[in-house]
Structure 1
């Protein structure tokens, strides 16, 4: 909720520099619980300290934001690889510098502007009007006081004032727009020599025994059984904790009342659709043709020439519904794409939509029934509600459980049993894992790194708490260890043969590509070169723009072609690349044409100018921050940062 609030009061400067780091969300990282209350600074900015506690809180907030915004799982390893903690610290330093700067410059935000900004935030409104009770309740839910939030709003409005001053100083000239268009809309004349991976592989004769033995001796380290450990571990997630959560009848009844209120307020919509599938890489003509087919069908339905069901049976590419008039039954949010659901939600009963685009293609939609939802009785939804309540309660209990697991396993380092018993969990056992790979809990790089730490593998102590994800942590200990051991040739012969063949194939493909590049550079006829090789095929040169990737000219080849330096008159430039699926390709560049700014319409020209202005504003902001840091005393204490 508060993320939406912040969007109301942030501009370019805040977005680039401050980065949404200052709101204390309810979910803090485990590091905050394990910090032991120490206030050791991780950085000092002009004499003002940034403590480890403050950094942990801001880091946790930023991590939560990333997880909420991402459409894929964000793991602890990914967070570490991004260097997120260092980024957050830099943002906090920048924020301190900005606060000092705006105060020294005498920037002031009137109370009336702060109040007006807060009143305009929809999360604090009831029926379009500011509601003080809702305002106070929502802030309390986030662990904030009114004074804290209003101070944040005032500060962000100050930043916006500075932001506007910097962005307003950015300007773009017409020659800059023309230069962008010339580059953006550039077209290149490209030919493509494709080397078929399977054909090359089929031509490689199997290695004889002497070759394999020689390869084994040269790469003996590749075929060792690596050093391995077997682990015992205690793992906590909201799922593992959920079974232990006790839910009162009062809480269940309250959840059911909320469920009834939600269900009763929702209209049930049943819909039909006609789908014309469009491939993801379809050209503009194909896309427009599919849309026009549905427009024609819509007109025929409107004119009474055919029913929606008849057109669905005739046209729809959805085999699962076309034989029943395109009937999808009840359509709810999340069933299909957002654009499809929004069209259904906007239609009156009996109405037919305009063509709607989704990743599947174009749809024509008819809502044939709008009714009230039937609210299921408590007994019918009891199990689902209990599961939701247990999961929510387990998520709230997760950080306390993580603290218990960390402290108990540290205080009693020779066993995981006390920690498991304290949490009513079991001690699990892994399969053998190495430093490079493992299954189950061993699939996580952080677990493997901890398992081979000297204190864990050498002293056989419990590991520290390992955070694997936002709500997923584990403590491990080594139960068994075995050193690396050479395996005889006879035991790994098949592995040796497979690795020799894979390496030989890659080498052969690279050699073929190098030879073709050399021949093309010397002026050899590419079609003749392709005819001489059973594994090669030649795509005759054609003009391509950056967005013209397709089956004939794959994206990897197009990217390689546009990365080439334009050749001289009568010459060609070449590059090799690997295509999706493993085929090797040699791209030949034979000409370049710049984009034509004169062909731009006024709206597009204006959009490009704004894009360039935004980019220039970002550069000004970055330069401004470098200037502030250069004029200030900033000390980062690496030892405290790594704790």
Structure 2
């Protein structure tokens, strides 16, 4: 297969395909992760090793990227459920294969092109142009050599150029666009019977004690205390390493000079403000009225008819400062909001701003005093600077310390004492931890999985280093174990009742839904099917497109409707699905209409064509990568990944 592909993509097109494939895999360089020592191997690609340290660093970098880009809090368990570490390993493997392919084909980027790109990076400029000293210093700060960085730039330039070329070369026919429009804009005639879970629950008889005891006996494995372990563990983070970091007086003195340089020349402004608050859903009239009110107040203050303090007492919605004349005291950049900072930066002593909008509402700002920031002596900030320096040193030391923890705990698997002494961190004790839950260190799924690993549980060996967060690892060993034990009915009666009721409701709803579905399939009138059932309602059929869910047609029901096989002409199709709130739905699909390509304008057609081109490129990339993997000798050590 790979030979066939290579024959078909000779020349510039081969460059292009390799480039597009490589973009997702080139977010970091390979060379910076290569190290010696006892770093275990997690995979081999044609005899070339990928080490645990390389994988861990790439994983940490990807994880940090996702955390920075996400609007929600991401946990170690989420990353584990995503299989993120395995994804990162696959990307490293693919990168190795692509680099090898490029070398075989003799692809190069000229040195002058690499130099031009680097000279154009503003971070390396000083006095208006590229500065070699600045360039080398910035790379050193990132722990990267000039050679590594230039190799990365060379690869990126090759891949970016080829990526653009492939996108520009994709070809999509008009029939393909029409086919996609017909599918994308398809509409379906769907009605549904909705079975209300709460009403079904109310209609069921209450179980007696005999029912519950019988259910408890039948499901005894559900109502038991699970097998559990107690763990000894060493937890490593930069914060835990910070206390042991030695900071020299020279380093402290240098940090103080940097601190003085940041502080000197800074202005501290004392500020008053008047705030008219606005709700998030304020309409344009309210917004304009608040602004005009502050404009009038400003005119009154500037003319001398009233003082700022008087207008603050009269107008301001800031109850914490209103009675103090709107006084906020000293305000520094970032204290309130970006637009507030921008207005404040332009004001001198005694000046009043125009109305300024922030997320809180409209502000009128007055600077009534400006003072130079006083730089405290070294002794006053010694503790703060030492804490920062120790934290910085600990973050730099983390990977070496984590590697030593992993190495020593592996080489001496019968005790955590040698590892504790090697890195200067204590051995701690957990509470009881099961396979599914635990407190403290046991709340992490990776810890629980490791604790019940055969070698850790049965042989009582130390675990491998478990990554449970960014720069956060732990090694555990089992100190105590207790088997699963059935719990008596009296102790779990409430849980038994809850589970019995849940199962009874699900069974009743399932039987009702299947009975109604069978009636619809037999051609019965839907309104008659629900006539004698108070818990069920018929929602008349309507035409829907994808994404047109509403109160009558919940999104889960609409998704299920578009997943159904269209019925034959003059027939209907049915299906059963469950809504997010637990209600059961019986769907009745009675018609399908294809989307109409003639309704697309030229711009929409072009957008559709670009989408198809991207899909074609993705399929080609996937085929190419499968071929590379098939011909390569790739060996993944699964146990070493976890």
Calculate the TM-score normalised by the size of structure 1.
0.76
Quickly say closer, same or farther: Cα 1:58–1:261, change in 2 above 3 A: farther
Alignment of 1:545-564 (within 5 A): 545-564=545-564
Q: Is the 8 A contact 1:194 1:536 kept in 2?
A: yes
In the alignment, structure 1 segments of 5+ residues that lack a partner are: 1-9, 279-289, 310-318, 357-362
Q: Does the alignment pair 1:36 with 2:38?
A: yes
Once the two structures are superposed, what CA deviation does each residue of 1:519-563 show, in whole Å capped at 9, x if it has no partner?
333333434444532222333333333233344433222211222
Following superposition, the deviation at residue 105 of structure 1 comes to 4.5
Q: Is the 8 A contact 1:124 1:134 kept in 2?
A: yes
Report the counterpart of residue 222 of structure 1 in structure 2: 222
Report the counterpart of residue 4 of structure 2 in structure 1: none
Quickly say closer, same or farther: Cα 1:464–1:58, change in 2 above 3 A: closer
Q: Does the alignment pair 1:15 with 2:16?
A: no
The CA distance in 1 between the partners of 2:203 and 2:371, in whole Å, is 65
Quickly say closer, same or farther: Cα 1:34–1:159, change in 2 above 3 A: closer
The CA distance in 1 between the partners of 2:392 and 2:491, in whole Å, is 51
Q: Secondary structure at the match of 2:484?
A: coil
Q: Is the 8 A contact 2:406 2:475 kept in 1?
A: yes
The CA distance in 1 between the partners of 2:395 and 2:491, in whole Å, is 48
Report the counterpart of residue 427 of structure 1 in structure 2: 427
Following superposition, the deviation at residue 625 of structure 1 comes to 3.7
Q: Is the 8 A contact 1:24 1:144 kept in 2?
A: no
Once the two structures are superposed, what CA deviation does each residue of 1:156-191 show, in whole Å capped at 9, x if it has no partner?
323344434433431122332233233223333333
- Greater CA radius of gyration, 1 or 2? 2
Quickly say closer, same or farther: Cα 1:79–1:165, change in 2 above 3 A: same
Q: How many residue pairs align between the two structures?
A: 584
Q: Secondary structure at the match of 2:38?
A: coil
The CA distance in 2 between the partners of 1:578 and 1:139, in whole Å, is 55
Report the counterpart of residue 507 of structure 1 in structure 2: 507
Q: Secondary structure at the match of 1:544?
A: strand
Report the counterpart of residue 179 of structure 2 in structure 1: 179
Q: Is the 8 A contact 2:271 2:327 kept in 1?
A: no
Report the counterpart of residue 467 of structure 1 in structure 2: 467
Once the two structures are superposed, what CA deviation does each residue of 1:280-308 show, in whole Å capped at 9, x if it has no partner?
xxxxxxxxxx8xx42x5566678899979
Once the two structures are superposed, what CA deviation does each residue of 1:373-411 show, in whole Å capped at 9, x if it has no partner?
985855898776665444333322322332343344445
Q: Is the 8 A contact 2:236 2:473 kept in 1?
A: yes
Alignment of 1:28-67 (within 5 A): 36=38, 42-45=43-46, 49-53=47-51, 56-57=53-54, 60-67=57-64
The CA distance in 2 between the partners of 1:484 and 1:366, in whole Å, is 63
Once the two structures are superposed, what CA deviation does each residue of 1:600-629 show, in whole Å capped at 9, x if it has no partner?
333333222222222222223333344555
Alignment of 1:177-576 (within 5 A): 177-245=177-245, 249-250=252-253, 252-254=255-257, 256-257=259-260, 259-260=262-263, 277=280, 293-294=283-284, 350=354, 366=362, 368-369=364-365, 378=376, 388-410=388-410, 413-420=413-420, 422-576=422-576
Once the two structures are superposed, what CA deviation does each residue of 1:463-509 show, in whole Å capped at 9, x if it has no partner?
33222222222222323222222333333333322222222222222
Following superposition, the deviation at residue 369 of structure 1 comes to 3.8
Q: Is the 8 A contact 1:59 1:84 kept in 2?
A: no
Quickly say closer, same or farther: Cα 1:104–1:142, change in 2 above 3 A: same
Once the two structures are superposed, what CA deviation does each residue of 1:64-111 show, in whole Å capped at 9, x if it has no partner?
123223325555555555455554454445444444544555544222
Following superposition, the deviation at residue 36 of structure 1 comes to 0.8
The CA distance in 1 between the partners of 2:327 and 2:617, in whole Å, is 49
Q: Is the 8 A contact 1:21 1:59 kept in 2?
A: no
Q: Is the 8 A contact 1:451 1:478 kept in 2?
A: yes
The CA distance in 1 between the partners of 2:372 and 2:601, in whole Å, is 53
The CA distance in 1 between the partners of 2:400 and 2:599, in whole Å, is 63
Quickly say closer, same or farther: Cα 1:83–1:69, change in 2 above 3 A: closer
Q: Is the 8 A contact 1:20 1:62 kept in 2?
A: no
Q: Is the 8 A contact 2:225 2:484 kept in 1?
A: yes
Q: Does the alignment pair 1:623 with 2:630?
A: no
Q: Secondary structure at the match of 1:532?
A: coil
Q: Is the 8 A contact 1:520 1:526 kept in 2?
A: yes
Report the counterpart of residue 349 of structure 2 in structure 1: none
Q: Is the 8 A contact 2:22 2:98 kept in 1?
A: no
The CA distance in 2 between the partners of 1:64 and 1:202, in whole Å, is 52
Once the two structures are superposed, what CA deviation does each residue of 1:195-247 show, in whole Å capped at 9, x if it has no partner?
22222222222222332232222222222322222222222223333344455
Q: Which moved more, 1:243-252 or 1:388-397?
A: 243-252
Q: Secondary structure at the match of 2:462?
A: coil
Once the two structures are superposed, what CA deviation does each residue of 1:127-158 show, in whole Å capped at 9, x if it has no partner?
76433222211211222222222222223323
The CA distance in 1 between the partners of 2:620 and 2:211, in whole Å, is 62
Following superposition, the deviation at residue 57 of structure 1 comes to 1.6
Q: Is the 8 A contact 1:194 1:537 kept in 2?
A: yes
Report the counterpart of residue 281 of structure 1 in structure 2: none
Report the counterpart of residue 304 of structure 2 in structure 1: none
Q: Is the 8 A contact 1:301 1:308 kept in 2?
A: no
Q: Is the 8 A contact 1:188 1:593 kept in 2?
A: yes
Q: Secondary structure at the match of 1:637?
A: strand
Q: Secondary structure at the match of 1:22?
A: coil
Report the counterpart of residue 9 of structure 2 in structure 1: none
Report the counterpart of residue 69 of structure 1 in structure 2: 66
Quickly say closer, same or farther: Cα 1:145–1:398, change in 2 above 3 A: closer
Q: Is the 8 A contact 2:76 2:444 kept in 1?
A: no
Q: Which moved more, 1:408-417 or 1:541-550?
A: 408-417
The CA distance in 2 between the partners of 1:62 and 1:529, in whole Å, is 56
